[in-house]
Amino acid sequence: MHRNFFILLLVGFLAGCATNELPPTVNLPPSPQPFPVDALVTQRAVLTVRGRQFTMNGYVARSATGGLRLIMTENFGGVLADVLVKPDGRVFVLQVKPPFRKAWVERFVAADLKCVFAGATEADCPVRVLSPTHFVIKRRQYELDLRTVEVKPGVQPPEMFEEPQGGKP
Amino acid sequence: MKKLVVVFWLMFTGILLAADGDVLQPVANPQPILQNLQQEMSSLKSVYLDFTQERQLKLFSAPLRSEGVMLINEPDQIRWETTAPFQSILLASHKSVAQFEQNDGKWEKLKLGFPQMLRRVMDQMVLMNQGKLDALTGDFTITVATNHNLAVMTLVPKDENIRAILSSLEVRMPPDFSATREVVMHEPGGDLTRIVFTRERRNVVFPAATFDQTKPLEIAVVRAAVGDAP
C-alpha cells in the first residue's frame, strides 16, 4: 500500500516534469576524474523533482578496463536499481524496483553514471563539478546532487563487469 | 515501504545479541515470549541506541557499512541519524516529519517528497517501541527458537508481495529480552541487511531540541548528555 502510494506520487511528479520544462542546461566539458581506475565509490544523492527531494545511496564499482557497475539503494538499504555499463558504453539494467522504471534507469541513471565516471564518452553531460567530491547534474526533469562520501581503491571482482547471459542491453 | 515499517518495528523490541554456542531449539508456543517482550517494552520511556548497518550484497566482496544512532522518546518522538559515511537526520512525531542532510558542514532541511508516508512509517516505529506488538502477528508468521544464551525471533511475512522483497527477519536477543542488539533482514536472492546495536541507554532524559524539526541538536551534544560520548 505504502509502496504503491509512493510509486503513484513519483510517477505523478515525473509525468508533470515532461510538460513543465525547465531552462535548458549547459553542457560542460568533461569533468576531471577524481576516482582511482579500480575502486568502489560510495555516493550520497539528493534527487530533486519538481521541488521535492528524495535521498538515495549509490555504490559504484569501477574497473581499469572502463566498466562501471552501480547499485542504487534507498535510505534503508533496499536496492532500487542495479546497472552495468560496459567499456563500449552499452547499458544493462540488471535490476530495477519501483518507483524506478527500466526506461528511466537506461535514459537517466546510466547517463548520469557515465557523466560522472566516464565524462569523456558522453555527449550530454550537464554536470557541474563543485569540488572533487561534489557534483550537481541538472536536467530538464530533475536535479541530482551527488557527494562522494567514501572511495575504496582496489580491483573489483571481474564478474561485476560481465554482461548477463544473452548479452542484450 | 511495508518493509521499512517492519524493520523499524523490530529495532524497538529491546533485544541483546549473545554468543550462541548451543543449537537453537524451536519454541512450540511463542505467545508467552511475545507477551513477555511486550511487557518489557511497555515500560520503556525513552531509548538511545548506536547502530552499525551492514548491507551484504552477493555482488560485493565486503559489506557496505553505515553507522548511526536511533533515539526514541515518549510519547511519539523519534530520531534516526546516520553519522557515517554520510550525515543525515530523520525526525518524526505523530504529526510531522523532517529530514536534514549535511551540506558542506551545515545542516540543510529537505523539502521532503511524500512526508506523510515517512511520518506514518516512523509513527509505527514509535508505537512498536511502546510495546504494541499485536500488529506483528497479523502481518507475520512468528517463530521463536532459543538456547542457553540466545533467543531468535523469526518473522516471515504473510503477504506474498512482501515476501518477494523480504524473505524473513531475524531478531536476536538474550533469553530475558533485555535489550535490542541485532536484526537481520533476509532477501529472496540471498542478500541481507544486518543492523547491530552496539550501545544502549534506556529511560534517558534527552536535552531540549534533540527532536526539534527546525534545528535539531547536534548528536555530539545529545551523546554527552546521555552519557554516551565516544
Residue A169 pLDDT: 57
Sign for the CA dihedral angle at B59, B60, B61, B64 comes to negative
Q: What is the pLDDT of residue B135?
A: 63
Condensed to tens digits (0 to 9), the pLDDT of residues B78-96 reads 999 999 999 999 999 988 9
> Cβ distance A14 to A49 under 8 Å?
yes
- Please tell me if residue A62 touches chain B, with a CB cutoff of 8 Å: no
The predicted-structure confidence for A104-126, as pLDDT tens digits, reads as follows 999 999 999 998 987 655 567 88
- Which residue out of A1, A2, A147 would a mutagenesis test of the B interface target, given it has the greatest number of B Cβ atoms within 10 Å? A2
Residue (of B117, B115, B112, B65) closest to A77 by Cα position? B65
Extract the C-alpha cell encoding B127: 508505537
* Residue at B228 is within a domain: no
Q: What is the ipTM, given to two decimal places? A: 0.74
Full set of structural domains in chain A with CATH: 2-156 (2.50.20)
In this prediction the pTM is: 0.79
Look at A55 and B120 and tell me if their CB atoms are within 8 Å: no
- Residue B230 contacts by C-beta under 8 Å, 6 or more apart in sequence? B223
A73 vs B200: CA distance, rounded Å: 27
Quote the pLDDT of residue B94. 84
What's the pLDDT at A14? 31
B56 part of a folded domain: yes
User: What's residue A118's pLDDT?
Assistant: 79
B chain contacts of residue A11, beta-carbon cutoff 8 Å: none
Chain B contact for A157 (CB, 8 A cutoff): yes
The domain that contains B117 carries what CATH number? Answer: 2.50.20.10
To the nearest whole number, what is the mean pLDDT of chain B? 81
A77 neighbors B53 (Cβ within 8 angstroms): yes
Instruction: Give the pLDDT confidence score for residue B54 in this predicted structure.
Output: 92
Counted domains in chain B: 1
**A&B contacts, CB < 8 Å:** 80
CB contact under 8 A, A77 and B193: yes
Q: Quick check: is B229 in a domain?
A: no
Given CB atoms, is A52 within the 8 Å cutoff of chain B? yes
With H, G, I as helix, E, B as strand and everything else as coil, classify residue B75.
coil
Alpha carbons B32 and B63: distance in angstroms, whole number = 36
